[in-house]
Amino acid sequence: MKFRSRVDLVLVGAALFLGLALTAVSHIPNPGRATADAPEEEPAGFPVHWSRPGAFFPVLGWRDPVALSASELMADRQLANLDPTAFNCHFYTRFHIRRQRGESVMPRPRQEHLSARCLALYGYHPVTGPMAAGDILTAIRADDAGQERITHSALVLAVDARGQPSRIRQKFDDEHPVVDVTMDEFRTLYAGLHPWRITAWRAQ
């Protein structure tokens, strides 16, 4: 009688264990049987949105170019729809000079040159001392023949209390768009090493 009671207890215990095991297995989620309207889990942390911070300029790094279409300068707005690779810094400078002189013809965008003679014909002459908004800045060096050549040009948009340019606008080069720089950046980019020098020009 005692032997049968023990056997019965063992069988009852085994039955309970098997039942619990089957119940647990039945509650394991099956990804293949998930319903279509089941909510997706949100990733932990804050969402990350990658975006390009403007344009990449040599030496300067990432920088927002000038939005020509929203510029305070009419000449900028007239150039807004041009391909940035269609013209260089000298075309940009000469275009602004032409507009200030009242010329209305839109020249063909190209890789242009600028010389001291050209600036003199436009009425610009070298100045020393404090600069002013509207001046033209040039980086100059001597070529292999010993003749001075303007390698870069830009517009002075604003100056500080000492007459030093605080905002200079230029076409960076023939491949990159128009961008504003400081005087220190202008020296570093275009006239930081001998024999380059910087000359300011003013309409007189």
Start-to-end CA span in the chain (Å): 127
pLDDT tens sequence across 57-116: 888 888 899 999 999 999 999 999 999 999 999 999 999 999 999 888 888 888 999 999
CATH 3.40.190 fits 55-203, yes or no: no
Say if residue 166 is exposed, middle or buried (CB neighbours under 10 Å; 0-12, 13-18, 19+).
middle
pLDDT tens sequence across 6-46: 545 444 455 555 555 445 445 444 544 444 444 555 555 55
Q: For residue 171, which amino acid is it?
A: K
Domain boundaries, the chain: 55-203
Q: What are phi and psi of 103, to 5 degrees?
A: -70, 135
pTM, full prediction: 0.72
